[in-house]
Chains A and B, each alone.
Chain A
Amino acid sequence: MRGFLLNRLSQSLILLLIVSIIGFVVLNLLPGGPLAQFGLDPGMTQDDLDRLKEQLGLNRPLWMQYLDWIWRLLQGDWGHSFRDNAPVLSVIGRHLFATLLLMGTSTAIAIAIGTWIGIRGATHRYSLFDHLATVGAMVALSIPTFWFGLVGIYIFSLKLGWVPAGNMYTIGDGSVLNYLHHLILPSIVLSLVHVAIWSRYMRTSTLDAISQDFVKTARAKGLTERRVIMKHVVGNALLPMITLAGVQLPSILTGALVTETVFTWPGMGRLFLDSLGYSDYPVVMGLLMFSAILVILGNLIADIAVAIVDPRIRLG
């Protein structure tokens, strides 16, 4: 286990290094830059821009900026946001809760419903339910999320008035109930795609498991069909899904770009768009590293979770 972790750690560091270099170079090669918007400010002179460029260290060669950045990063200093004048970690931290709340809820919905649909589709293959689920998944995957979001707001907020038209809570009312009320529409809209993906994978995985010999054994033992499915099929079908969940972990934080914008949700997805639009390099780099670390963590957690669940790996 220790060897495995060390091996993983060294791989991860190399991955992070590569991600950081590519990210840094690509970001800096994009036209514009953090001062571009001030270049169009009628009161800003070229002297002002040159001065700011120097003060921010943007006049140095790219490799020097990168080395400086990574050297500070190694010391735990993620840099300062250009846009926010605050440390990058604190900027990210401020947006973390909103995203975790939204993505956590929608992921929970997606996994619960997706798993159920997948299992039912597989155990009732080619039934009306299965066909509807297949068509539904295709619809959910082919229609952009923002469209669902806008239609949802139009119908359920503006026309029916059941749920708020976006925002995380009513300003001045921070009650849990108020949060939950605001959470309903965006989390459902966001989970649609994930339900679709998850149910498709779960269906395939369940079909795989159903065809295994031990399922036949379980039936031959006289188990009820319900127990055969719940105990023998689902358990084994969920194994590959753990890995999928691990791979999807990073998207929990960055996967809500559009939904957060449509629902005015102050999360990381929007932070990413705003920072990118502003060329706020330190924050964009911070988010990039953050999600790269999440990719690594997601895979690691998935591997560990699989090891915990699967005795062949845990004990083998």
Chain B
Amino acid sequence: MAASIQAVAPHDVALSVRDLTVTLPQGMERTHAVENISFDLKRGQILCIIGESGSGKSVTANAIMGLLPRVIRISSGSIHLDGTNIIRMPSEKLRSLRGRIVSMIFQDPLSALNPLMTVGAQIDEVMAAHGVGTPKSRRGRALELLTEVGLPDPELMYHQYPFRLSGGQRQRVMIAMALALEPTILIADEPTTALDVTTQAQILELVRDIQRRKGMSVMFITHDFGVVAEIADSVVVMEKGRIVEHGSAQQVLKSPSHPYTRRLIAAVPRLTGEDRVPLETANKAPILKVENLVKTYREGGVLFGKQRVVPAVNEVSFDLAPGRTLGVVGESGSGKSSLGRLLIKLLDSDGGGILFEGRDIAKLSEAEFRPLRPRVQMIFQDPFASLNPRSTVGHILTVGPVAHGSPYAQAREEAKALLAHVGLDAGAFGRYPHEFSGGQRQRIGIARALMFKPKLLIADEAVSALDVSIQAQILQLLDQIQRETGVSMIFITHDLRVASQICDEIAVMQKGRIVERGPPSQIFLDPQSAYTRELVAAIPGEQPDGTRPVAANG
């Protein structure tokens, strides 16, 4: 494969990476972050580098930028930017390339902008750093850029601080900054991963649009084959620091040759449009009935000053049958997480009822609710943050049941059985959370929730932080558990594709309200509300009919 790309004519190629090997410091999992990788980014094209966490895709980007941490060294290979090898280039010369020849945008626009500087100053700075223009001309250029990336009211935006901007707006500012000096190459490191699905669609469109207009070359790093399908001209698939497959987008997506690529594509959750076969249960009475639930946040002064009232959950009603899964989907700020916290009484509601097994728990005091708490369990997004790093897995699993009166020996046996059940070996019992990978930790989180034999599981973005292949495994595990134990589930996610995999019914939330509720077939194939339609349309790489755009168009 490497041999076939040796022959590319240099002037066609904006970026050429040859036999690049980056060494990791001793004591890491691998000796190399990337090993002998070679690829070209052709002028005016979008190259997607796809891989799961640890595949080396971000290290590659940082190596190209010359921004690798000191401890990580390039041991061999070459990186040609516009025909110039940047490896072992003096740092001052390398600096002059950054922002001018090659620019970069990052995953999290919330933290990628300096909170203390105005948007305008941060854009201005790129030009000033390379000695371009006068303060006046730079200001004009900045306003031009702000307009170009589609930000409203550039004059106002120029003087804004980042915290005033939404995530999408901030990413637009990042793009404006990256474009300021019209670089040859734009490196985008997961630029849409942290964004809501509709925003993601807009940013993808912007990147594609700008790339076309400017004839820029874009290296786009992602873990999402949906995104690849949306924008890629060619694709590099990386696994554990090596390139496993390389080719045109069409070729890789349609007929992947490497088993890893195939596995990755297969693991991508996609809109099934098919309803799940419901689990048959003896008891048909709803285990949970939510009626007109209300939660309002109040912000601002107590005595004086304007108070902001934010309705987080607004007149939400639904019910959930035993053994069924209700998906709650929505973008950030839709109130889906607040709803989850209300149901488990981590938050107190301001109105409405929560009938759990026929009993209204909304008005129960903490003490009254305590006996019921084991029966409603939660699985969190960040398994690491929710597991005490100083406790062994065994302790984490048994401490709750023992506190609720189980004998330790019994709890221990149950814990060991559950660990086996969620796919961990018995040795896990005596180990600490940090010894496990993200997917394994989520398994521990699930095991912990199951220790109480709950009637209801609330999973809040339980798979969002995981790589797709792991995601698929966890979803499978949850499905299996539900079928075995008959537990009911509320599955909160921002990812409609994930929701479509596991839910019997989906509730779409917007601004604290449920705007639509129905089985996946209805939500994805025949959405009733405009908002749902918008959401579904924004899913990258997906069409409601279940076909993939590249394949369809190609």
Which residues of A are at the interface with B, using a C-beta cutoff of 8 A?
Answer: 1-4, 6-7, 212-214, 216-225, 227, 231-232, 235-236, 239, 309-312, 315-316
A222 touches B114 (CB 8 A): no
Q: Which of B88-117 contact A (CB under 8 A)?
A: 95-100, 103-104, 106, 108, 111-117
A221 touches B116 (CB 8 A): no
Chain A residues whose CB sits within 8 angstroms of the CB of B125 once the complex forms: 218, 221, 223, 231
* Interface residue B126 (Cβ < 8 Å from any Cβ of A): yes
Given A213-B111, A311-B161, A311-B163: A221 and B305 interface contact (C-beta under 8 Å) = no
The interface size of chain B toward A, counting residues with CB under 8 Å, comes to: 35
* Interface residue B297 (Cβ < 8 Å from any Cβ of A): no
Question: Which residue in A213, A214, A223, A315 is a CB contact (below 8 Å) of B164?
Answer: A315
- Determine chain B's interface SS by DSSP, over half rule: loop
A221 touches B129 (CB 8 A): yes
Chain B residues whose CB sits within 8 angstroms of the CB of A239 once the complex forms: 116
* Interface residue B302 (Cβ < 8 Å from any Cβ of A): yes
Chain B residues whose CB sits within 8 angstroms of the CB of A6 once the complex forms: 303-304
By beta carbon, the residue of chain A nearest B305 is: A3
Question: Which residue in A4, A213, A235, A316 is a CB contact (below 8 Å) of B106?
Answer: A213
A220 touches B65 (CB 8 A): yes
B115 touches A216 (CB 8 A): no
Question: Which residue in A7, A222, A224, A310 is a CB contact (below 8 Å) of B116?
Answer: A310
Given A213-B108, A222-B129, A224-B129: A3 and B303 interface contact (C-beta under 8 Å) = yes
Q: How near does chain B come to A101, taking the closest CB pair, in angstroms? A: 33
* Interface residue B405 (Cβ < 8 Å from any Cβ of A): no
- CA gap between A311 and B120 in the complex, in Å: 14
Q: How near does chain B come to A305, taking the closest CB pair, in angstroms? A: 13
- CA gap between A231 and B129 in the complex, in Å: 12
Question: Which residue in B67, B116, B174 is a CB contact (below 8 Å) of A236?
Answer: B116
- Determine chain A's interface SS by DSSP, over half rule: helix
Q: How near does chain B come to A155, taking the closest CB pair, in angstroms? A: 41
**A and B contact pairs by CB, cutoff 8 A, 8 listed:** A3-B304, A3-B305, A217-B106, A221-B103, A222-B130, A223-B129, A236-B116, A316-B164
Q: Which of B43-59 contact A (CB under 8 A)?
A: none
- CA gap between A267 and B164 in the complex, in Å: 47
B303 touches A216 (CB 8 A): no
* Interface residue B265 (Cβ < 8 Å from any Cβ of A): no
Chain A residues whose CB sits within 8 angstroms of the CB of B96 once the complex forms: 222
Interface centre among B111, B116, B117, B164 (most CB of A within 10 A): B116
Q: How near does chain A come to B388, taking the closest CB pair, in angstroms? A: 24
Q: Which of B32-74 contact A (CB under 8 A)?
A: 65, 67
* Interface residue B177 (Cβ < 8 Å from any Cβ of A): yes
- CA gap between A183 and B174 in the complex, in Å: 51
Q: How near does chain B come to A23, taking the closest CB pair, in angstroms? A: 29
Given A213-B111, A216-B106: A222 and B304 interface contact (C-beta under 8 Å) = no
By beta carbon, the residue of chain B nearest A4 is: B301
- CA gap between A213 and B302 in the complex, in Å: 35
Q: How near does chain B come to A171, taking the closest CB pair, in angstroms? A: 50
Given A221-B125, A310-B115: A2 and B305 interface contact (C-beta under 8 Å) = yes
Q: Which of B294-311 contact A (CB under 8 A)?
A: 300-305
- CA gap between A316 and B103 in the complex, in Å: 31
Given A4-B305, A7-B302, A311-B163: A222 and B174 interface contact (C-beta under 8 Å) = no
Contacts A7-B302, A236-B114 aside, 9 further interface pairs with beta carbons under 8 A come to A6-B304, A217-B106, A217-B177, A220-B65, A220-B98, A221-B177, A222-B96, A224-B129, A232-B114
Q: How near does chain A come to B538, taking the closest CB pair, in angstroms? A: 25
B129 touches A3 (CB 8 A): no
A309 touches B112 (CB 8 A): no
Q: How near does chain A come to B379, taking the closest CB pair, in angstroms? A: 28
Chain B residues whose CB sits within 8 angstroms of the CB of A221 once the complex forms: 98-99, 103, 125-126, 129, 177
By beta carbon, the residue of chain B nearest A125 is: B70
B163 touches A227 (CB 8 A): no
| Top 10 closest pairs, chain A to chain B, by CB | A3-B301, A222-B99, A3-B304, A222-B98, A311-B161, A3-B305, A213-B111, A221-B99, A220-B104, A312-B163
Chain A residues whose CB sits within 8 angstroms of the CB of B174 once the complex forms: 217
Q: How near does chain B come to A308, taking the closest CB pair, in angstroms? A: 11
